[in-house]
Amino acid sequence: MFINDISEKIEIVEVGPRDGFQNECDVISLENKVRTIESLVETGLKYIEATSFVHPKWVPQLADADQLLQKITSIDKVRFSVLVPNEKGFERALQANVKEICLFLSASESHNKKNVNMTPEESMKNFSGIIKAALSKSMIVRCIIATSFACPFEGTIKPEAVLKIATDLVEYGVNEVVLADTIGHANPRQVYELFSLLKSRVPEVIISAHFHDTMGMGLSNVLAALQAGIRKFDASVGGLGGCPFAPGASGNIATEDIVNMLNRMGYKTGISLEKLLETSSLLENIVGRPASSHMSRLELV
């Protein structure tokens, strides 16, 4: 069933500056990253994942993370988060005075090893100290469970594997758990069932969704998650993104597409579709190709 009270606000986390730019073949200049973030702020977005403190050897596209954060520290209209892969990344986050960190691990052992060269169990052990230290500094801790539905190396992921990780993370004290369909193979039934199970297991934390559109089911999966009670979604302007360690994964669901759908259904996002399309157009010039979103190809009606 749909949300009866359409006055209930749906929150969108813009991940383009991190998840989008990390997958570009050419490194985006610091100047263009700042321009993109400034344009996103003007849309009314309140949550932006700005960058990652991953080692430049693995993701050279985000090697300027420290400089970027210095450039945007004066922007107070939004809450910026930074992806932190390990203790070293957390130390950089502390030095940058970051208020919100994103941790990530995979439900799939093969994908986790490709991504961070650790098993999921090793990642969890690594996170325990980071989470404790972050919470002691009054940071908000968001944790993304990648390949929650399917893995490019192992196929379909069993729900219990995801639920076990999520439950452990909540016991560690994280503020938010994000289930990610990293390769875009999830279907609406899977989405509804897994999010419903998770909400019943850990009702005390924020649960969010992160979908990719590889098989064209991104927005359908958003709708299924809405029906399961999810009120917070990741998206990337222009549909940028993917995963460097997930062969064949296409971009994230486009921010302008999810905002258009929610707005037309009567839900409140507080985000200007017109301004989003302006940012999407800006990005087309920056990355040198058309946006992959549906709305970027249509005239507004």
Active site residues: 243
CB 89 within 8 A of CB 53: yes
CB 243 within 8 A of CB 249: yes
Residue 195, token pair as written in the block: 């999010």
Q: Considering just the CA atoms, what is the radius of gyration of the chain in Å?
A: 18
Other Cβ atoms less than 10 A from the Cβ of 88: the count is 12
Q: Which residues contact 57 (CB under 8 A, 6 or more apart)?
A: none
Tell me how far apart the 2 most distant CA atoms of the chain are, in Å: 51
> Among 57, 67, 103, 63, which residue's Cα sits nearest to residue 82?
103
CB 19 within 8 A of CB 252: yes
180-185-186-187 Cα dihedral, nearest 10 degrees = 150
Residue 219, token pair as written in the block: 């927005």
> Among 175, 168, 174, 179, which residue's Cα sits nearest to residue 230?
179
DSSP secondary structure of 180-210:
EETTS---HHHHHHHHHHHHHH-TTSEEEEE
How many whole angstroms separate alpha carbon 145 and alpha carbon 131? 15
How many whole angstroms separate alpha carbon 57 and alpha carbon 34? 22
Q: Please report where in the chains the tokens 């009054």 appear, as a residue.
A: 138
